[in-house]
Amino acid sequence: MVILFWCFWDFLVKGRGTPAPIDPPKELVATGFYRYVRNPMYVGVLLILAGHFLWFGYWNLIIYTAFAFLATHLFVVLYEEPNLRKRFGRAYEDYLNSVPRWMPRFYIF
């Protein structure tokens, strides 16, 4: 939950908007958790769903999580990323090339 609130705060302060489509950020947010992964709020929600499976042990929860991931992935690839390309242009293209969509890259050195 902390990740979600932190990301929302970054949208408000650094992006000068919200995650809601009626008031999207005016600036591209590429700091905080967004410097490690392009979709930290979605990743956070999916981790919560996977955590419910681990906590309760119900297999239907992991199946639900898999479908939620698939739906989220399709939404991001087919709707969100094309719209962000239009809004932020080259800055977003550079961001796409340097930050992974789902799995953060952590380097030891």
pLDDT digits (tens, 9 = 90+) for 45-91: 999 999 999 899 889 999 999 999 999 999 999 999 999 999 999 99
Q: Judge contact between 58 and 92, C-beta under 8 A.
A: no
* Full domain range(s) for residue 32: 2-98
Asked whether the predicted pLDDT for residue 6 surpasses 80, the reply is no
More confident residue, 22 or 100: 100
Number of domains the chain is built from: 1
Q: Is residue 41 part of a domain?
A: yes
Please write down the HEC assignment for all residues of the chain: CHHHHHHHHHHHHCCCCCCCCCCCCCCCCCCHHHHCCCCHHHHHHHHHHHHHHHHHCCHHHHHHHHHHHHHHHHHHHHHHHHHHHHHHCHHHHHHHHHCCCCCCCCCCC
Measured from the Cβ of residue 23, the count of other Cβ atoms closer than 10 Å reads 12
pTM: 0.80
Q: Is residue 18 part of a domain?
A: yes
What per-residue confidence (pLDDT) applies to 68?
95
Q: Is residue 37 part of a domain?
A: yes
Q: Is residue 20 part of a domain?
A: yes
Asked whether the predicted pLDDT for residue 2 surpasses 90, the reply is no
